[in-house]
A and B are shown apart, each in its own frame.
Chain A
Amino acid sequence: MGSLSSLPGADKRDIVVLEGVTKRFPGIVANDSIDLSIRPGEVHVLLGENGAGKSTLIGMLSGLLQPDEGRILVDGKLTQITSPRHALALGIGTVFQHMMLVPALTVAENLLLGGPWWQRPRTEELEARVAEITRSLGITVKLHAKVSELSLGEQQQVEILRAMVRNSRLLILDESTSMLTPKGIDELGTLMRRLVEQGLAIVFITHKLKEAAAFGDRISVLKLGRKVGEIPSERFRALGEQEIISEIVELMFGKQKDDPEAVECPIRTICVEAAPLLQVADLAVAPTDNTPGLSSISFDIRPGEILGIAGIDGNGQKQLAEALAGQRVATGGSVRLEGTAIEMLSVGERRQRGLRYLTDDRLGEGTVGTFPVSINFFLKQVGAAPFWRNGFEQRAEIDKRAAQLVREYDVRTPSLKTPVGRLSGGNIQKVLLARELAEGAKVVIFNKPTYGLDLANTLASRQRIRDTAARGLAILLISTDLEELLSMCDRIAVIANGALVGTVENVDDARTKVGRLMIGLAA
């Protein structure tokens, strides 16, 4: 490998340079001739819609994938990053979008993974190191808890910690803020700043433009696998937040809009006298080894109303959703739909009565990854007419309707036969949305409906939820994103330790009230 320092565009300061990198998957060009340079002392924000190819790019930097074309320079030298081990040796540490921890091992064991095989794991050394890092980070991690017992948010913290423990020169964070609380996000921002000041390079992927503007030094935007623009650091520093956001929006969507996430305050009138569609009283669920229980949860939702559930991840949100949907056994309390008790009904029966549940675990339970997109639209209707008649599958009907839904919800898929697991997260989410909002819905539970979605999809999904409510459905919206709740809900309840600690009408000072409830103060 000769010296390539004379290459055009290569800057001595760059740790990593990508030149014309292309990656193809069956039926798709995920990265199309991408050029990118990554420098120490900079947070390089990578933006792009779902499926734009961000994670694929990261995969090549971290040794998981090999580019089909193009080349990667590390410290100015042409380098083939052949394995994750190689990437680590080069000082490239990655926090992946999908959890990369071993659930059966403890946090400490996960952090120790990767040491020389003959050694005893060096627990003491690790503990000291972790103590040092967490102190400067201001977070706490339970080193001896099993990963499977942690909430997704906690797991994400562990992953960030792991990248830090490894002394990386280049830290890559793929949607690492998606599971953090607003406070956590701010802290991560501060941390990134401190790290780049120490000379690290950071690649930061997010869908939230505000984060991009607040934490970044340089922004690259991907679209449909191509890099469509870059805001270099000089320009970045010169612009204000609003200007940056509008510039990004222009790059991403080619349209002008000031702050796309700006709250359009809900101006819906809900008939106060209308009988509640969903009535929950004293719902209780027993805790298990690794999940919190629920105690005396009570609320009503009227037709057309959106009730938000705010709270830090892992406080019983999932248990609540599952107990309502019938997937988890309730130990007490009642659930009424249109006045009739449904707590004794099975998942399928509840669905038939119009209760819908959009899960936050798209791949784990929402879809069957190896099945085609078309079938995944109807997973919850197997056997129902017109897609099945006398138990026999009606392929034409299924494909016709699936094609319609693909178009309607803008699902980006090579074909209806593509296994759904191959789609990017955002597109899988669209499949779920399409499925749950189909005919007959009366009450819909959304669990983190926009987690991992790009801006356009997030906005579209939110609009769909609002439209759904406008059709007179009752909506329960569980989210860790406070902005989202504030922009959508009529009322917001706060959950903590498996109990509702208060409910707030979404009017002017709701933000502070919810915030106070979330940190354990009275509203």
Chain B
Amino acid sequence: MSIDTPTVNATALDPTSAAAARRDILHKLLMTLGPILAALVIAGCILLAVGVDPLAYYGYVLEKGLFSPLGIQQTLTRMAPLLFLAAGLIVAFRAGTWNLGGDGQFLLGAVTAAASAPVFVQLMPAWLALIGSFLIAAVVAMIWSLVPALLRAYQGVNEIITTLMMTFLGTSLANVLVKLVFRDPGTTVPQTRTLPVEDRLPRLFDTTITSGLLLGLAAIIIVHLVMTRTAFGLKLRIVGANPRAAIHAGLGVPGLTIAVFAISAGLAGLAGAVDIIGVQGNVRADWNPAYGLAVIPAVFLARMNGFAAIGFVFLLSVLSIGGESAARRLGVPNHFTLVLVSIVLIVLALAEYVDHRYNQSRKA
């Protein structure tokens, strides 16, 4: 046995830590880019099979999603709602709560923000109006999550079922609200009133990037710090990792559970609001971008780490913006982007596993 006396060196950072940290970052980069490359090769084979030049395709993806000024702006803009969603999921997943109802919460947040913002801007200064709409969106989404939260906290009903159901319901309800309650009387198209472009969130500098991006980044970083550095975050993590230990340790588990749902749903609602107030300006009936489904795996792959999640969200955005453009230029249906994202997710998951295995065998 290698340890005779308790070795207590956790605090004593080893002297070569700077070099080690650099190596670590390099390693992480390699372990992310490598798999993506591998995924591109696999997806390339599919492209070849349908008679499309993969190199041309990827060339467009990179150019239109990343390297052209227009492309990178679009990509960064697309990230804003995704970041909020990811932040909400990080809270939920770290607390062991499988909130799969993000899409419903997102849509209700979006609809209420879209309904309130155009009214508010006429009543008060723009900044106050927008804050008001954000708040309303968050609160509505929170209330929407109350049913699963209460069922989970006091009845032990599994939240996967309830949140999935609430997301089906929420999608319908959002439609009903758009068509019957908040409908813009000025048009035959069922949609909410439009928030004028000049009243939306300001764009960054001289670009088309929405300042929602900054809000999203702030949200996810704050969430990350709260979850990893604070007592509140630790409490949530204890509930997530071992609910019985949480009870034993005297934590108010039902209260914390409800808090998790509220925060997670609130952030999803804010995601909806930031998309509407930042970019879209209104909500149309039957609109459902279903961002949640793609963000969930991204958050897992990031191991619920906020900074890593930013990276994965960026990757998703590049693929979706660049992929759309590449598909159009090469005559592949846009659905290919879904295939590409799927392969990237699977290969990344595999790579993480291989890496983990390798590390373990090296340590042993």
Interface residues of A (CB under 8 A from B): 24-30, 32, 53, 68, 224-226, 325-327, 346-351, 357, 359, 361, 364-372, 374-375, 379-380, 382-383, 388, 391-393, 395-396, 399-400, 402-403, 406-407, 410-417
A-B contacts, 19 of them at CB < 8 A, read A24-B364, A25-B364, A28-B2, A29-B1, A53-B1, A226-B1, A346-B250, A348-B249, A365-B242, A366-B248, A370-B241, A375-B234, A383-B232, A383-B235, A399-B11, A406-B6, A414-B7, A415-B10, A416-B11
Known: A326-B250, A391-B231. 13 other contacts (CB 8 A): A26-B363, A28-B1, A29-B1, A347-B247, A348-B252, A368-B241, A374-B10, A382-B231, A383-B232, A399-B10, A400-B11, A412-B6, A415-B9
Q: Mark B213-257, 1 if CB is under 8 A from A, else 0.
A: 000000000000000011110110110011011011111100000
- B4 interface contact, C-beta 8 A: yes
CB distance from B264 to the nearest CB of A (A): 19
User: Complex formed: what's the CA distance from A379 to B234 in Å?
Assistant: 9
CB distance from B294 to the nearest CB of A (A): 27
B residues near A53, Cβ cutoff 8 Å: 1
User: Complex formed: what's the CA distance from A369 to B11 in Å?
Assistant: 21
Q: Which of B2, B4, B231, B242 contacts A369 (CB 8 A)?
A: B242
Please determine whether B364 and A382 come into contact, CB atoms closer than 8 angstroms.
no
B residues near A357, Cβ cutoff 8 Å: 248
User: Complex formed: what's the CA distance from A359 to B360 in Å?
Assistant: 32
User: Complex formed: what's the CA distance from A346 to B8 in Å?
Assistant: 35
Please determine whether B11 and A379 come into contact, CB atoms closer than 8 angstroms.
no
- B18 interface contact, C-beta 8 A: no
**Given A388-B231, A403-B11, CB of A380 within 8 Å of CB of B249:** yes
**Given A365-B247, A388-B231, CB of A371 within 8 Å of CB of B6:** no
User: Complex formed: what's the CA distance from A440 to B354 in Å?
Assistant: 47
A residues near B248, Cβ cutoff 8 Å: 325, 327, 347, 357, 359, 365-366
B residues near A368, Cβ cutoff 8 Å: 238, 241-242, 245
Chain B, range 1-58, C-beta contacts under 8 Å to A: 1-4, 6-11
Q: Which of A367, A411, A417 contacts B10 (CB 8 A)?
A: A417
A residues near B230, Cβ cutoff 8 Å: 388, 391-393
Closest B residue, CB atoms, query A222: B1
Q: Top 5 nearest A-B pairs by Cβ distance?
A: A348-B250, A347-B250, A383-B231, A416-B10, A225-B1
Closest A residue, CB atoms, query B228: A393
B residues near A348, Cβ cutoff 8 Å: 249-252
User: Complex formed: what's the CA distance from A347 to B252 in Å?
Assistant: 9
B residues near A365, Cβ cutoff 8 Å: 242, 244-245, 247-248
User: Complex formed: what's the CA distance from A32 to B1 in Å?
Assistant: 7
Please determine whether B241 and A416 come into contact, CB atoms closer than 8 angstroms.
no
A residues near B6, Cβ cutoff 8 Å: 406-407, 410-413
CB distance from A365 to the nearest CB of B (A): 4
User: Complex formed: what's the CA distance from A370 to B96 in Å?
Assistant: 13
B residues near A395, Cβ cutoff 8 Å: 11
CB distance from A289 to the nearest CB of B (A): 15
Please determine whether A382 and B363 come into contact, CB atoms closer than 8 angstroms.
no
User: Complex formed: what's the CA distance from A379 to B248 in Å?
Assistant: 9
B residues near A388, Cβ cutoff 8 Å: 230-231
Closest A residue, CB atoms, query B252: A346
B residues near A406, Cβ cutoff 8 Å: 6, 8
Closest B residue, CB atoms, query A367: B245
CB distance from B256 to the nearest CB of A (A): 11
CB distance from A192 to the nearest CB of B (A): 30
A residues near B249, Cβ cutoff 8 Å: 347-348, 379-380, 382
Q: Which of A326, A402, A415 contacts B7 (CB 8 A)?
A: A415
B residues near A26, Cβ cutoff 8 Å: 360, 363-364
A residues near B238, Cβ cutoff 8 Å: 368, 371, 379, 382
User: Complex formed: what's the CA distance from A362 to B251 in Å?
Assistant: 17
Please determine whether A351 and B250 come into contact, CB atoms closer than 8 angstroms.
yes
CB distance from A395 to the nearest CB of B (A): 8
Please determine whether B4 and A224 come into contact, CB atoms closer than 8 angstroms.
yes
Which residue, A24, A347, A407, has most C-beta atoms of chain B within 10 A?
A347
Please determine whether B9 and A371 come into contact, CB atoms closer than 8 angstroms.
no
Please determine whether B241 and A393 come into contact, CB atoms closer than 8 angstroms.
no
User: Complex formed: what's the CA distance from A380 to B251 in Å?
Assistant: 8
CB distance from A234 to the nearest CB of B (A): 30
User: Complex formed: what's the CA distance from A53 to B3 in Å?
Assistant: 13
User: Complex formed: what's the CA distance from A391 to B242 in Å?
Assistant: 21
Please determine whether B11 and A29 come into contact, CB atoms closer than 8 angstroms.
no
Please determine whether B231 and A393 come into contact, CB atoms closer than 8 angstroms.
yes
A residues near B234, Cβ cutoff 8 Å: 375, 382, 393
CB distance from B165 to the nearest CB of A (A): 25
CB distance from B14 to the nearest CB of A (A): 12
**Given A26-B360, A26-B363, CB of A224 within 8 Å of CB of B229:** no
Which residue, A326, A349, A413, has most C-beta atoms of chain B within 10 A?
A413
User: Complex formed: what's the CA distance from A380 to B245 in Å?
Assistant: 9
**Given A26-B364, A391-B231, A393-B231, CB of A415 within 8 Å of CB of B8:** yes
User: Complex formed: what's the CA distance from A349 to B250 in Å?
Assistant: 8
User: Complex formed: what's the CA distance from A27 to B235 in Å?
Assistant: 29
B residues near A224, Cβ cutoff 8 Å: 1, 4
CB distance from A510 to the nearest CB of B (A): 32
B residues near A400, Cβ cutoff 8 Å: 11
Which residue, B7, B10, B230, B247, has most C-beta atoms of chain A within 10 A?
B10
Which residue, B1, B241, B252, has most C-beta atoms of chain A within 10 A?
B1
Please determine whether A392 and B1 come into contact, CB atoms closer than 8 angstroms.
no
Closest A residue, CB atoms, query B229: A393
Please determine whether A382 and B229 come into contact, CB atoms closer than 8 angstroms.
no
A residues near B3, Cβ cutoff 8 Å: 27-28, 412-414
A residues near B252, Cβ cutoff 8 Å: 346, 348
A residues near B364, Cβ cutoff 8 Å: 24-26, 68
B residues near A412, Cβ cutoff 8 Å: 3, 6
CB distance from A318 to the nearest CB of B (A): 12
CB distance from B11 to the nearest CB of A (A): 4
CB distance from A16 to the nearest CB of B (A): 23
